[in-house]
A and B are shown apart, each in its own frame.
Chain A
Amino acid sequence: MAASFKETLASGKFIVTSEVGPPKGTNLEKMIHHIALLKDCVAAINLTDHQSSVMRYPSLGAALLVKEQGGEPILQMTCRDRNRLALQADLLFAYSRGIRNVLCLTGDSIVVGDHKEARGVFDLDSSQLLAAIRLLEKGKDLGGNELDGTVSFCAGAIVTPEANPLEPQLIKFEKKIEAGAEFIQTQAIYDLDKFRDFMSYARQFPVKILAGIILLTSAPMARYMNKNVPGVRVPQELIDEMAAAPKGSALGKGIEIAGRMIREIKEERICDGVHIMAIGKEEVVPEILKEAGL
């Protein structure tokens, strides 16, 4: 049987995780294909939760699919769409069905998504969700009531090392660790020098850190992310490198850049691993790993 994600984190090996975005609809074929492709080449697969506030098949259902296929899921849970009752209930359900890893996120704003008039919930924030998990593990819910049967999760959170100003993010990062985060998957990293600075600070905390790698697929896509994806900043040099790729080979260039970054992170041991976000191009993740020498 494959190692649990918690065991992988403790192993000291260079960790690779990736993610799959559930479909908009009930046709699960493509997601099942992506899971099959990834489950044996990464330590765990994140299941995004209405990513960018776009309504999709639930991350909980997708995490169960990963389980069914023999993979190791990391259930992403945002605080945007559910209040504390629903979040806790989903955690109980997830645990009862064998899901052991949770990534706690505040969630993007409703207004960046495809249901712009909906009400954002944000009853809890990411650090409060982490604290809720640790409380459930002690057999109590947020109302102070005893549980009949408890949970045990490997819980993580995210940080945005390229945020500006960075200091308020770092305070929040420390709060997440204090609230119980065991691992951190970062928002996309493109500037390794900045990331090294972040890591020299982050190393003091007892938490595993996986650098977020978002695959660039074209120069316009990079520009789009700079404009529209909260917390992501692609430097001009990389955009230029993408733009200079011959026609039809931009994706190949993106794979090369992602592989190059992962190789550098691994060789220098800048952090504990990487989290690869291919955003719809999951089929090329094995190529990225090959490019990275993994």
Chain B
Amino acid sequence: MIRSITRQKSMEEIERLLGDYSRVFIIGCGTCVTLCCTGGLPEVLQMKEKLEVANRLVIGYLVLPVACDEITQEALAVNQSAISEAQVLLIMTCAFGVQTVARRLERAVIPALDTLFIGKERGLGEFHEVCSQCGICIIGETGGICPVTTCHKGLVNGPCGGTREGKCEIDPQKDCAWTLIYQRLENLGKLDLMRRYQGPRNHQVAPRPGVFFVPQEERSI
């Protein structure tokens, strides 16, 4: 399952963003931010306490099951009266969730988290970015390891000169993507794939912001 990986903003920044608003409604999410321990029920309750200590009135709180889902609209409707008493919604979800709520309600929204990347949970509490959704997938030639994402510089033709002991020049803990790719291709007897010159990438496969429509006749649902 892919996850939206988040980190809580500092309380100083949250306080600055809240500014003059004194009546706050907090929204968390039961999915990615719960796994990241940044916006699940425990974090929402901690936030409530911190805001109360800072003399803000927490009108209520809510942990949506999946903040980025359409069902969010119904959950917000159920809590409409409490939400309408608040001046601001402090949203402890990833930016998808914040934007979902913002689109549904004419209320000031403030994100309590920064959204870092779309990642995969490899172990308990351990998340790795494995895909940058760049639009042209070359992992068929790199042993299923994405250099665009896994290499710090996104190099597609092999390692830079900074790799040492198979680690990245920016972090001795981080594996060099091209060492991993080399080892994988060598095991597969496919090093010829690494010798192939990859031309300059097309960065405009899906110009940002991405919009995609499934043609009517191809829709199965």
Seen from chain A, the residues whose Cβ lies within 8 Å of a Cβ on chain B are 80, 84, 106-109, 111-112, 120, 122-125, 127-128, 131-132, 142, 158-160, 163-165, 167-169, 171-172, 174-175, 178-179, 187, 230-231, 233
Q: Top 7 nearest A-B pairs by Cβ distance?
A: A230-B162, A172-B158, A160-B161, A230-B169, A231-B161, A168-B182, A122-B153
Question: In the complex, what distance in Å separates the CA atom of A142 from the CA atom of B203?
Answer: 14
* B200 part of interface (Cβ distance < 8 Å): yes
Question: In the complex, what distance in Å separates the CA atom of A2 from the CA atom of B62?
Answer: 77
Contacts of A178 in B (CB 8 A): 197
* B76 part of interface (Cβ distance < 8 Å): no
* B3 part of interface (Cβ distance < 8 Å): no
Contacts of A159 in B (CB 8 A): 161
Among residues of B, the one whose C-beta sits closest to the C-beta of A111 is B170
Contact of B178 among A160, A168, A174 (CB under 8 A): A168
A125 x B161 contact (CB < 8 A): no
Q: 30 pairs across A/B with beta carbons < 8 Å?
A: A106-B155, A106-B161, A109-B162, A109-B170, A112-B170, A122-B153, A124-B200, A127-B157, A128-B157, A128-B198, A131-B197, A142-B200, A159-B161, A163-B159, A163-B161, A163-B164, A167-B182, A168-B179, A168-B181, A168-B182, A171-B158, A171-B191, A172-B158, A172-B159, A174-B195, A175-B195, A187-B161, A230-B160, A231-B161, A231-B162
Contacts of A142 in B (CB 8 A): 200
Question: In the complex, which residues 144-167 of chain B have their Cβ closer than 8 Å to any Cβ of chain A?
Answer: 152-166
* B57 part of interface (Cβ distance < 8 Å): no
Contacts of B182 in A (CB 8 A): 165, 167-168, 171
| Additional A-B contact list (14), CB under 8 Å, known A127-B157, A128-B200, A164-B166 | A106-B160, A109-B152, A109-B169, A109-B170, A112-B170, A123-B203, A124-B200, A132-B200, A158-B161, A165-B182, A168-B179, A171-B158, A172-B157, A175-B197
Question: In the complex, what distance in Å separates the CA atom of A112 from the CA atom of B161?
Answer: 14
Contact of B153 among A106, A158, A168 (CB under 8 A): A106
Question: In the complex, what distance in Å separates the CA atom of A123 from the CA atom of B203?
Answer: 9
Q: Is the interface of B mostly helix, strand, loop or mixed?
A: loop
B166 x A165 contact (CB < 8 A): yes
* B45 part of interface (Cβ distance < 8 Å): no
Question: In the complex, what distance in Å separates the CA atom of A124 from the CA atom of B203?
Answer: 11
Contact of A122 among B154, B162, B178, B179 (CB under 8 A): B154
B199 x A231 contact (CB < 8 A): no
Question: In the complex, what distance in Å separates the CA atom of A179 from the CA atom of B181?
Answer: 21
Among residues of A, the one whose C-beta sits closest to the C-beta of B203 is A123
Among residues of B, the one whose C-beta sits closest to the C-beta of A174 is B195
A122 x B155 contact (CB < 8 A): yes
* B194 part of interface (Cβ distance < 8 Å): yes
Contacts of A112 in B (CB 8 A): 169-170
A52 to chain B, nearest CB (A): 11
A171 x B197 contact (CB < 8 A): no
Among residues of B, the one whose C-beta sits closest to the C-beta of A162 is B164
